[in-house]
Structure 1
């Protein structure tokens, strides 16, 4: 569904660009076809830039305090913005439209297999860059498309359960590692609540709103409502679903989690919502929400954690 939707949006943007080109040529006095084309493309990009800026603006309203060590100079802030814009463009205009995958990618049998779980409004194509990094590292992995897109988070659990059982069956391994982005981390927690950790060696979450996000107030569907944060960073609260998840969980399982998050996340805000008590929390800065799984430093850390888990599973490798 997401791949079809993103392709339709691309066609819509192309149609609008063509109309802008015709308007520039016939009504705005552009004599050069090249100038009219540049005008049309610039307008489309400008709208996309405005959407990205709007996300950062809303995130600013709900933001948590940024530790002094993670504050950015204006040049780094500009780099953050444009890297996040590029990541959003690459994901929404290419990889989610044309690079989705649900196939099993074989790797080193001594390393644990990985299940990649995407976030809200995405599909497996979001993991295209991470998948290339995992292939280079020799790590077996599988991704899935969570459907229907706007279902409740618990409704995704059976699909995840089937994928986990299939991976363990095909790989001959008893346990695997989940790497999850954004809402995908909440899906992983919902899976553990229902099925326990018998199949799970480690869960690595990237920018997961463990305590909700203010931007979910503007989303669609039950899953968006379940991720909501209302009020300020200091005095607000997360949704009833998140509070129930927190109270129902086996807290001892939090030691399986590694939460990587950015103090400059433009979708998860308050940003400290991604800090999961009892887990290993890794603070990052200067990286936007969509860019997390595309960023080389994050990919390196994920691969490092997978190899570390392999060492614990097979002490002779350590």
Structure 2
């Protein structure tokens, strides 16, 4: 279903580009008109990304402030990451199960976030394979479903990875909403299979931008949602299993300190956007350090 939605968005962009090119072809040569039309579509996507940063902007601590060059780098890295994920990696995604010939450590299950699929993890999956870790992705359906319903799907994926790898425990790495899915799974199915849960940019206390989302999952991620309050009350004794990695400059989670989970190990970093967490070198380094340190 995610692929169908992304293909629809792609089709709308192509249609818009063709319409703009047709209009411009009356003024300039056809090849120039097509180039200008593509640029217009890319600029619209860039404007959407810029607006997300604007809406998510919150006061920053002194140590997290960036100069103008760092802000430009932050913006373009997030923009390129978003374009690559939504227009290429997620469209080409196939469910992934990689079993290392000589496994290193525990297997890793990769859990995507809202409106995504396992294609989000293409960069980290390559790093895990290079480091000798068995790993798998899970695709949560339906796209706009209930997070507790995803927890049952996650349990199936956990059991499948344990059976395939022969391991009794796994490590979960989860982006955005995926971190809430992991916590809902932990609440429902217990901690016997979980060696560590690493969340990236997860709105543990909700995000203001969820007001713009659709579906049960978006409603559950809104600030002050009753579902989040109940989850917070239910899993406090299990927080020692969780590492929350997040960015002071997340352009989807607002306020950004919503990712700070009391009782968990919290790592806050500057200069990384929400989607860029899936491919940013510093984030990857922190994830691998957490994984390698678990026995």
Tell me, yes or no, whether TM beats 0.5. yes
Taking the aligned partners of 2:234 and 2:241, their CA distance within structure 1 comes to 16
> Which of 54, 58, 72 is 1:57 aligned to?
54
TM-score normalized by the length of structure 2: 0.97
> Which of 182, 185, 191 is 2:185 aligned to?
191
Name 1:22's counterpart in structure 2. Answer: 22
Deviations 1:142-188 (A, max 9, x none): 00110001011101011100110111111111000000000000000
State the SS of the aligned residue for 2:97. coil
| Structure 1 runs of 4+ with >3 Å offset | none
Name 2:86's counterpart in structure 1. Answer: 92
State the SS of the aligned residue for 1:102. coil
Name 1:133's counterpart in structure 2. Answer: 127
Name 2:99's counterpart in structure 1. Answer: 106
State the SS of the aligned residue for 1:205. strand
TM-score normalized by the length of structure 1: 0.90
Q: How many equivalent residue pairs? A: 294
Taking the aligned partners of 1:256 and 1:308, their CA distance within structure 2 comes to 13
Alignment of 1:141-156 (within 5 A): 141-156=135-150
Taking the aligned partners of 2:218 and 2:146, their CA distance within structure 1 comes to 8
Taking the aligned partners of 1:206 and 1:101, their CA distance within structure 2 comes to 22
Taking the aligned partners of 1:106 and 1:303, their CA distance within structure 2 comes to 17
Cα RMSD of the aligned pairs, angstroms, is 1.1
> Which of 280, 284, 294 is 1:299 aligned to?
284
Name 2:217's counterpart in structure 1. Answer: 223
* C-alpha contact 1:177 1:202 (8 A) present in aligned 2: yes
Name 1:316's counterpart in structure 2. Answer: none
Cα drift, residue 16 of structure 1: 1.7
Query: Which ranges in structure 1 are unaligned for 5 or more consecutive residues?
Result: 230-237, 314-318
Cα drift, residue 37 of structure 1: 1.8
Query: Which ranges in structure 2 are unaligned for 5 or more consecutive residues?
Result: none
Taking the aligned partners of 1:273 and 1:263, their CA distance within structure 2 comes to 10
Find out whether 1:13 has 2:6 as its counterpart: no
Name 1:290's counterpart in structure 2. Answer: 275
Q: Do the aligned partners of residues 25 and 307 (structure 1) sit closer, same or farther apart at CA in structure 2, a change above 3 Å counting?
A: same
State the SS of the aligned residue for 1:21. helix
Find out whether 1:38 has 2:35 as its counterpart: yes
Deviations 1:225-282 (A, max 9, x none): 11112xxxxxxxx211111101111x23211111100000000010000001111111
* C-alpha contact 1:177 1:306 (8 A) present in aligned 2: yes
Cα drift, residue 33 of structure 1: 2.8
Cα drift, residue 8 of structure 1: 2.3
* C-alpha contact 1:101 1:143 (8 A) present in aligned 2: no
State the SS of the aligned residue for 2:94. coil
> Which of 182, 203, 227 is 1:241 aligned to?
227
Taking the aligned partners of 1:81 and 1:297, their CA distance within structure 2 comes to 16
Cα drift, residue 300 of structure 1: 1.6
